[in-house]
A and B are shown apart, each in its own frame.
Chain A
Amino acid sequence: MDTVSTRTGDLSISTIGEDLTITGNVTSKGELPLNGQIRGDVNCIALVVGENARLEGNAVAEDVTIRGRLIGSVRALRVTLQSTSHVAGNLISPLRRVRILKVSRIPGSSGIDTAVEPERAF
């Protein structure tokens, strides 16, 4: 516990731990690696939704990488859905830079539905 008072993290990069739940909107001027849960909209430069993370809301960023679960729309210059991702919502990428690695579940109106993996217990 004594380390708490002296701890200093990197001020430029946030980390949202697995044990953290945010209900509300998040705005960041930098990267946002999400390992916990957010119920609300996210606006940042680079968003990484980790494998055990969950975002229920809309994300606006330059880069979005999703390994976990997203329920809501994504508007980003570059979107990467990794094989562990489960996405329900729209992917909007004006540069049409959407990379989908292996199998992801996308029942939104992105026009892609590659649901191969069964829904994992969350």
Chain B
Amino acid sequence: MFASRQRGTVIAKGLKIEGSVTAEGLVEVNGQIDGELRCTSLVIARGAHVTGTVAAQRVVVDGKVEGPIEGKEVFLKSQAYVVGDIHHQSLAIEKGAYFEGRSIQVRGANGHQSERVGSKPLKQVANESQEALTPTGRARSLSAPDKVTT
């Protein structure tokens, strides 16, 4: 049923981790993680809930994340609910995604030189407008109707 050389990790629905998770490869989260999550490639699936820092080369979010996301490629799918800053080299937000936080584009190999682009206010809601924005950050334009890749 399970190969002894199992690589990649699936955190199933109903599984809860309180603590930090570190992996070299792919992690797919369907359950709940309260803590830091670091891996190479990360999928936070619909219905999943992560509270804490999320760091991966490639991050696909279709669930709920409360905490900062540090990624190279970040993709928020339509059911994504993200409250926290997103550090990225490229960010894509699908229509329907909720994002409350700063979008910080990081350029350069060392990933430390940051550049803020655009002049939109901090809080971006792709499907509906919500007020009570925190006016401390900038997000790249999300005005395209369907999907925006920066």
B-binding residues in A (CB < 8 A): 1, 4-5, 7-30, 32-33, 35-36, 40, 44, 48, 50-52
Contacts and interface: CB of A to CB of B under 8 A. Distances in A.
Contact of A13 (B10, B18, B58, B77): B10
Contact of B7 (A4, A5, A18, A24): A18
Contact of A9 (B12, B22, B23): B12
Interface stretch (B26-34, B107-115, B132-140): B26-34
Interface of B: 2, 4-28, 30-31, 35, 39, 41, 43, 45, 58, 60, 75, 77
B6 A17 contact: yes
Given A20-B23, A24-B35, A33 B15 contact: no
A62 to B, nearest CB: 15
A13 B10 CA distance: 8
B25 A7 contact: no
Given A15-B6, A28-B12, A30-B12, A23 B41 contact: no
Give the dominant DSSP class at A's interface.
loop
A110 B75 CA distance: 50
A7 B58 contact: no
B93 to A, nearest CB: 14
Contacts of A16: 9
Contacts of B77: 5
Given A1-B41, A23-B20, A32 B58 contact: no
20 contacts: A1-B58, A5-B77, A7-B28, A10-B10, A14-B9, A14-B31, A15-B2, A17-B6, A18-B6, A20-B22, A20-B27, A21-B21, A21-B23, A22-B20, A23-B19, A24-B19, A27-B17, A29-B14, A40-B19, A51-B4
Given A4-B26, A50-B4, A25 B19 contact: yes
Give the dominant DSSP class at B's interface.
strand
Contacts of B22: 20-23
A5 B60 contact: yes
Contacts of A40: 18-19
Contact of A36 (B9, B35, B58): B9
A9 B30 contact: yes
- List of 8 A-B pairs having minimum Cβ-Cβ separation, nearest first: A24-B19, A29-B14, A19-B24, A14-B12, A20-B23, A9-B10, A28-B15, A17-B9
Contacts of A1: 41, 58
B9 A26 contact: no
Contacts of B10: 9-10, 13-15
Contacts of A14: 9-12, 15, 31
